[in-house]
Structures are given as C-alpha cells and as structure tokens.
Amino acid sequence: MPNNRLQATAYSVRSSLAPASGRGSTRGYSRERSTNEGWSEQMEFQVQPEIFTRLKSGGPQHGNEVQAVIFKSGAQFPPTGKPFTGVTFKQS
C-alpha cells in the first residue's frame, strides 16, 4: 500500500506593495500662466500572476516536489506578515 503522507515546507513568495500612488505638477509660462496638477493611484497584485506559472507540479522532473500558494484571510504568515505564503509538498 503506498505511503500518502504529505510533508510541507514553507518557501518565500515575492510580493509587491499596494497601492502605489504618485503626484506631479507641471508649469508652463507664456503670456498667460497655467498650473496643472494630477494624482493617480495604481493597485498591484500582492502575488504576481506569473508566480503561478512557475510552481513545481511534481514528478521526477521536479524532484518529486509540488508547490502551492496558500491564502488565509486574517492570517499573518512569517516572515512577511502577509495573509499568504508558499509551501512545498514532497511526494513519496
């Protein structure tokens, strides 16, 4: 009978800061004076979508390892304090 025990190991998932915002102003002088100001806000993914395309999917070609990103609302996973973390499961 096969051994179906899972062994999990945490690994780091790179994240980006959100939101990013910027403010700028431009001034142009001619016979009339004008001032323009703008403000923008940009939301970014906390886990970049490309991370999911590089996760190990098991089998001999991946050293019998499967990777996943785990999310739990309200949780703070070390060392980042974010509500998500990466884990690696060993296949046996």
Number of other CB atoms surrounding residue 38 within 10 Å: 9
For the entire predicted model, the pTM comes to 0.56
pLDDT tens sequence across 25-67: 455 555 666 777 888 888 888 888 999 999 999 999 999 999 9
**Residue listed under structure tokens 């910027």:** 22
> Which is more confident, 10 or 60?
60
To the nearest whole percent, how much of the chain has pLDDT over 90? Answer: 42
Nearest alpha-carbon partner for 84 in 74, 72, 92: 72
